[in-house]
């Protein structure tokens, strides 16, 4: 049976590092602060928000919530983002999406400053990941994958990585991040075809499953010793949370991140990490401009 790559320890290690960074910042008068923008009361948003609030407390990050009715106008939402952009006391923003129907998602994403985009949703952040310029931030789930590999000392250099899925939230950015670490990356998707996909996955050293299909990764996708990161968050026939990987049938693999308790457990820690980094960069920029010591 494959070993579980637990997310909890990774999240705790990150949180500890963020806490130290937050304390250092607070000593210099900076309280690293995250804005959470939510319209409506989607249960999965509420659940993520609760997790984020708890994680923020542990990490020494302040949270300011900006809550709106589901019927909020685009004008109101854009005005709030503009205020967040201008507010020196806010270093990063998480905007829950999908937004209500009446809101233009592209306009909202374009409105947020990349340097406050700690959830990696702006074109600026995505360009930074694509070009390696270091501008903006990665989508938290993509960086969570990198953090898990890093924590468990799994090298990417020269390794074959198969990524299932090509979304902007995970598939494409995680591919570019693995490439930047010198992995050889293959991006598979719905048009790849079942047989080709199985072959590619079996040939890979590391498989990142982000297809959003409950239990699709079975014995046909894996080989001995392989590392599998399961990014899927699905609900199975019995109403239970499950990933893209059938943990039992994919048991030949060496290591698998469980769902729940794997990647998902690390994302809020990454959100705090990126908020602290944004606060640090804002302070460095101010210092460079001679505004603080």
Residues near a second copy, by CB under 8 A: 106, 123-124, 126-131, 133, 135, 157-158, 160, 166, 168, 172, 175-176, 179, 182, 184-189, 191-193, 196-197, 200
Would you give the end-to-end CA distance of the chain in angstroms? 55
Residue with Cβ nearer a second copy (71 or 133) = 133
164, 188 contact by CB (below 8 A): yes
Residue with Cβ nearer a second copy (40 or 220) = 220
Residue with Cβ nearer a second copy (184 or 213) = 184
Cβ 186 to a second copy, closest distance in Å?
Answer: 4
Q: CB-based contacts of 8: which residues, under 8 Å, 6+ apart?
A: 261, 265
DSSP of 107-170, one letter per residue? HHHHHS-GGG-TT--SHHHHHHHHHT---S---HHHHHHHHHHHHTT---TT-EEEEE---TTT
Separation between Cα atoms, residue 137 and residue 279, nearest integer Å: 13
Cβ 287 to a second copy, closest distance in Å?
Answer: 22
* 22 annotated to a ligand binding site: no
* 165 annotated to a ligand binding site: yes
* 233 annotated to a ligand binding site: yes
217, 245 contact by CB (below 8 A): yes
For residue 251, give both structure tokens.
């048991």
Cβ 185 to a second copy, closest distance in Å?
Answer: 5
* 166 annotated to a ligand binding site: yes
Cβ 286 to a second copy, closest distance in Å?
Answer: 22
Cβ 270 to a second copy, closest distance in Å?
Answer: 20
Cβ 260 to a second copy, closest distance in Å?
Answer: 29
Separation between Cα atoms, residue 150 and residue 22, nearest integer Å: 22
Residue with Cβ nearer a second copy (14 or 156) = 156
Name the residue with tokens 């920029």. Answer: 285
Residue with Cβ nearer a second copy (70 or 123) = 123
Residue with Cβ nearer a second copy (9 or 167) = 167
Separation between Cα atoms, residue 22 and residue 276, nearest integer Å: 6
For residue 170, give both structure tokens.
């995970």
Question: Which residue ranges are tagged as binding site for NADP(+)?
Answer: 165-167, 233
């Amino acid at each position: 049976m494959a070993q579980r790559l637990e997310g909890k320890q990774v999240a705790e290690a990150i949180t500890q590092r963020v806490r130290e960074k937050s304390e250092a910042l607070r000593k210099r008068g900076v309280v690293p602060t995250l804005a959470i923008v939510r319209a409506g009361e989607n249960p999965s948003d509420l659940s993520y928000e609760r997790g984020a609030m708890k994680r923020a407390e542990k990490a020494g990050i302040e949270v300011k919530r900006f809550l709106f009715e589901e019927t909020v106008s685009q004008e109101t939402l854009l005005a709030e983002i503009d205020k967040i952009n201008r507010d020196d006391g806010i270093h990063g923003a998480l905007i829950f999406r999908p937004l209500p129907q009446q809101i233009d998602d592209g306009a909202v994403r374009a409105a947020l400053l990349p340097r406050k985009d700690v959830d990696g949703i702006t074109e600026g952040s995505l360009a930074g990941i694509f070009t390696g310029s270091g501008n903006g931030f990665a989508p938290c789930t993509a960086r969570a994958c990198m953090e898990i590999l890093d924590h468990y000392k799994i090298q990417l250099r020269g390794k074959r990585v198969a990524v299932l899925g090509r979304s902007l939230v995970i598939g494409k950015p995680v591919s570019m991040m693995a490439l930047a670490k010198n992995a050889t990356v293959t991006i598979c998707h719905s048009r790849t075809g079942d047989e080709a996909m199985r072959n590619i996955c079996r040939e890979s050293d590391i498989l990142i499953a982000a297809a959003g299909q409950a239990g699709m990764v079975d014995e046909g996708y894996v080989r001995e010793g392989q590392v599998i990161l399961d990014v899927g968050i699905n609900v199975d026939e019995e109403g239970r949370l499950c990933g893209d990987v059938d943990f039992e049938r994919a048991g030949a693999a060496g290591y698998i991140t469980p769902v729940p308790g794997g990647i998902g457990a690390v994302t809020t820690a990454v959100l705090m990490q990126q908020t602290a980094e944004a606060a640090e960069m804002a302070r460095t920029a101010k210092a460079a401009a001679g505004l603080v010591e």
